[in-house]
């Protein structure tokens, strides 16, 4: 939600809980300009192309006082008839109007009078009753600074009272189509949203499934209210590009939106100061993308002064939204990643991969936990705190359900775990942490119950020891960073989505890693363990047929960009 969080720290924390995130003016102006240039290219520009139903500049006559020219059917100067080509721009989470202000400047630069833009083109919705009047006032003040005459401002003020209003856009969406939608939707995690409202959203929005963040239905809403050929500009958390719950939304965007820009800002905090999520910028047109559609893809860094100076590379849209996702990176990065993805079948095709107990069932399980007696390990329970690289640390103190547990076990008849889940958990398996600073996998031979943010891999067509070595290797960690480098949480750890794990390519001949893994000494990581792991890393590079240059890049043994 675009809103300026001024005031004390308590107000900032309250705003972040509501999903209110300040969007810098430079970013808002860039997004509005790049989006609207697809609709209304500047004089002499061919950026926007000729889309069906496109708005033109020549059909916007105005009077000398800055009001739209009246027609025979509506001659009153206080309620002029808008020209038929006037574009309609919506921000469904407008806050105090940062993106609408960007749209105002972009449209004025393309020849539209400021009062006409404010009163006839800009529409905003927000559930915050304090933000809406602030948005109206900001737009009127900007129009005045841009030279709008007083009479035109009076008309625009009356129009804004109807066009910028307080409502929940998701449950009370606008009924008419728009030429453009600009938005930074609220970022609200599943745990912070009202559950009754979430049920209503699931009923209304096809993409709202699983532990979805509120940005998911907002993006679907934007696609709904856009007319065919309309344009969309978003700045959102990148979670919908990487999280499992974003799969339906990614498919929807892939089918309905012809992307123009996709920019990753996760590594550029100077472009979005104070934000606690990893932002991504998306610009496109609502129409089915042609086969082979190329998108301008960029990854900002700490050295990026502005998005106008951000280098971009053309990438196929299908690679970004359907296949393994890789944003930015050099040609050698793309070649190495492509070579790895082509080396074998996905892990989900050769093994049974599933997640641990989560949601309401997780709370049920925590209520039934008990401490194991000495020598007892049946029905033991693992959480992320019990899993490290190559080792299970059951017996290490962890906090579960508000209590510290050392040797948690779960009765077989406890509610919350289905018979199918018990059958899976009872098998020997590789356990993978869903959130960690680095890919971390361990071997569980005791048939442990897995809790939230743990994934299990069983019934694999290769030795579990070989799979363990593969998952803990540096090449796999590198591949994850290239694809999901922005999938970070504020504490600095990374997300390892279950969907990504299922897609992970298993190279032919991976069985040779089993013997290497058996040579790795147990216990904390030390010199001997590191030496053994370096040998495993080299074997993994061989299995993926990486070139010498790609190997240096993946292992960090040299400058592959040289």
More confident residue, 279 or 7: 279
Note whether 286 and 229 are within 8 A (CB): yes
Quick one: which H or E segment has residue 90? strand 89-91
Q: Which residue has the tokens 């609200």?
A: 188
- Distance from CA of residue 83 to its chain's centroid? 38
Taking 60 as the threshold, does the pLDDT of residue 80 lie above it? no
Instruction: Give φ, ψ of 424 to 5 degrees.
Output: -65, -45
C-alpha angle 282-15-235 in degrees, rounded to nearest 5: 5
User: CA-CA distance, 260 to 533, in Å (whole number)?
Assistant: 42
Q: Worst-scoring range by mean pLDDT, 367-381, 402-416, 472-486?
A: 367-381
The candidate with the shortest Cα–Cα distance to 543, out of 499, 517, 502, 507, is 507
Give 260's contacts (C-beta < 8 A, 6+ positions apart).
34, 38, 283, 284, 285, 295, 296
- The single-letter DSSP state of residue 324 is S
Taking 70 as the threshold, does the pLDDT of residue 276 lie above it? no
Q: Which residue has the tokens 């005045």?
A: 144
Q: Across residues 153-178, what is the average pLDDT?
A: 95
Identify the pLDDT of residue 47. 44
Joined tokens for residue 312: 């971009």
Q: pLDDT digit string (tens) for 197-253?
A: 889 999 999 999 888 889 999 999 999 999 999 999 999 988 888 777 888 999 999
User: CA-CA distance, 121 to 123, in Å (whole number)?
Assistant: 7
Joined tokens for residue 425: 């958990």
Q: pLDDT digit string (tens) for 114-130?
A: 999 999 999 999 999 99
C-alpha angle 530-326-38 in degrees, rounded to nearest 5: 160
Buried b (16+ CB within 10 A) or exposed e, 425-441: bbeebbbbbbbbeebbb
User: CA-CA distance, 241 to 264, in Å (whole number)?
Assistant: 11
Give 37's contacts (C-beta < 8 A, 6+ positions apart).
45, 47, 48, 106
Give 195's contacts (C-beta < 8 A, 6+ positions apart).
none
Give me the percent of the chain exceeding a pLDDT of 90.
56
Q: Across residues 366-374, what is the average pLDDT?
A: 85
Instruction: Count Cβ atoms within 10 A of the Cβ of residue 267 and give its class: 0-12 exposed, 13-18 middle, 19 or more buried.
Output: middle
- The single-letter DSSP state of residue 287 is S
Buried b (16+ CB within 10 A) or exposed e, 109-145: ebebbbbbbbbbbbbbbbbbeebbebbbebbbebbbe
Q: Provide the 10 A C-beta neighbour count for residue 175.
A: 6
Q: pLDDT digit string (tens) for 38-50?
A: 998 754 444 443 3
> Per DSSP, which regions of 322-458 are E strands?
352-355, 370-371, 381-382, 387-388, 391-392, 398-400, 403-405, 408-409, 429-433, 435-436, 441-444, 449-450, 454-458
Q: pLDDT digit string (tens) for 439-466?
A: 999 999 999 999 999 999 999 889 999 9
C-alpha angle 357-362-366 in degrees, rounded to nearest 5: 120
Q: Which residue has the tokens 């004390």?
A: 8
User: C-alpha distances in angstroms, 529 versus 30, 82, 389, 443, 552?
Assistant: 49, 73, 11, 16, 21
pLDDT band for position 335 (cuts 50, 70, 90): confident
Q: Worst-scoring range by mean pLDDT, 74-78, 263-267, 298-302, 330-334?
A: 74-78
User: CA-CA distance, 460 to 450, in Å (whole number)?
Assistant: 18
- The single-letter DSSP state of residue 431 is E
Q: Could you tell me which residues are beta bridge partners of residue 443?
A: 430
- The single-letter DSSP state of residue 231 is E
Q: pLDDT digit string (tens) for 241-254?
A: 877 788 899 999 99
Q: For 349-360, give the DSSP string.
A: HHSEEEE-B-HH
The candidate with the shortest Cα–Cα distance to 189, out of 557, 538, 490, 556, is 490
- Distance from CA of residue 47 to its chain's centroid? 27
- Share the mean pLDDT of the chain: 83
Q: Could you tell me which residues are beta bridge partners of residue 295?
A: 315
Give 223's contacts (C-beta < 8 A, 6+ positions apart).
232, 252, 253, 256, 257, 286
Instruction: Give φ, ψ of 231 to 5 degrees.
Output: -120, 150
Identify the pLDDT of residue 331. 79
The candidate with the shortest Cα–Cα distance to 100, out of 129, 128, 121, 86, is 121
Q: Provide the 10 A C-beta neighbour count for residue 413.
A: 8
Q: Across residues 297-308, what is the average pLDDT?
A: 88
Taking 60 as the threshold, does the pLDDT of residue 519 lie above it? yes
pLDDT band for position 34 (cuts 50, 70, 90): very high
Q: Across residues 345-370, what is the average pLDDT?
A: 90
Identify the pLDDT of residue 377. 53
Give the number of residues written for the chain.
562
More confident residue, 312 or 276: 312
Instruction: Give φ, ψ of 311 to 5 degrees.
Output: -65, 140
Based on DSSP, count helices (H) and strands (E) in the chain, helices before strands. Answer: 21, 23
Q: CA dihedral in degrees (238, 359, 346, 558; nearest 10)?
A: 50
């Amino acid at each position: 939600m675009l809103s300026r969080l001024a005031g004390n720290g308590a107000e900032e924390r309250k705003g972040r809980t509501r999903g209110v995130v300040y969007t810098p003016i430079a970013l808002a102006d860039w997004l509005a300009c790049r989006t609207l240039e697809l609709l209304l290219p500047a004089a002499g520009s061919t950026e926007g192309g000729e889309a069906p139903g496109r708005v033109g500049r020549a059909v916007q006559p105005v009077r000398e006082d800055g009001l739209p020219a009246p027609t025979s059917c509506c001659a009153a100067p206080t309620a002029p008839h808008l020209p038929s080509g006037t574009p309609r721009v919506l921000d469904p989470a407008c806050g105090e109007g940062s993106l609408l202000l960007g749209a105002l400047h972009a449209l004025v630069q393309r020849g539209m009078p400021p009062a006409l833009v404010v009163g006839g083109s800009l529409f905003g919705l927000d559930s915050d009753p304090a933000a809406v009047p602030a948005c109206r006032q900001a737009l009127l003040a900007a129009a005045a600074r841009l030279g709008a005459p007083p009479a035109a401002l009076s008309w625009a003020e009356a129009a804004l009272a109807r066009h910028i209003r307080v409502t929940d856009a998701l449950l009370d969406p606008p009924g008419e189509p728009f030429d453009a939608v600009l938005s930074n939707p609220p970022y609200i995690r599943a745990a912070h949203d009202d559950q009754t409202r979430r049920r209503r959203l699931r009923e209304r929005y096809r993409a709202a499934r699983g532990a979805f963040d509120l940005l998911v239905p907002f993006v679907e809403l934007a696609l709904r209210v856009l007319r065919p050929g309309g344009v969309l500009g978003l700045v959102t958390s990148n979670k919908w590009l990487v999280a499992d719950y974003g799969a339906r939304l990614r498919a929807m965007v892939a089918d309905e939106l012809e992307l123009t820009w996709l920019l990753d800002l996760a590594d550029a905090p100077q472009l979005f100061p104070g934000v606690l999520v990893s932002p991504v910028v998306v610009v496109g047109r609502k129409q089915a993308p042609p086969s082979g559609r190329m998108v301008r893809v960029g990854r900002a860094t700490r050295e990026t002064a502005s998005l106008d100076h951000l280098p971009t590379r053309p990438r196929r849209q299908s690679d970004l939204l359907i296949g393994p996702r890789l944003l930015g990176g050099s040609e050698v990065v793309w070649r190495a990643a492509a070579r790895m993805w082509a080396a074998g079948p996905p892990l989900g095709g050769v093994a049974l991969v599933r997640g641990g107990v989560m949601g309401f069932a997780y709370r049920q399980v925590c209520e039934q936990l008990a401490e194991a007696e000495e020598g007892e390990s049946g029905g033991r329970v693992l959480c992320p705190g019990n899993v490290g690289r190559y080792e299970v640390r059951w017996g290490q103190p962890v906090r579960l359900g508000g209590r510290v547990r050392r040797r948690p076990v779960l009765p077989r008849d406890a509610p919350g775990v289905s018979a199918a889940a018990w059958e899976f958990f009872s098998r020997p398996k590789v356990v993978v942490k869903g959130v960690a600073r680095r890919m971390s996998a361990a071997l569980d031979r005791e048939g442990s119950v897995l809790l939230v943010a743990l994934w299990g891999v069983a019934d694999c067509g290769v030795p579990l020891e070989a799979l363990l070595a593969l998952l803990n290797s540096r090449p796999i960690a590198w591949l994850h960073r290239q694809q999901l480098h922005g999938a970070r949480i504020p504490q600095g750890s990374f997300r390892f989505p279950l969907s990504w794990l299922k897609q992970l390519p298993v190279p032919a001949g991976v069985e040779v890693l089993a013997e290497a893994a058996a040579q790795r000494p147990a216990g904390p990581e030390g010199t001997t363990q590191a030496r053994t792991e370096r040998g495993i890393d080299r074997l993994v590079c061989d299995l993926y047929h990486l070139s010498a240059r790609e190997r240096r890049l993946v292992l960090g043994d040299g400058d592959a960009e040289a």
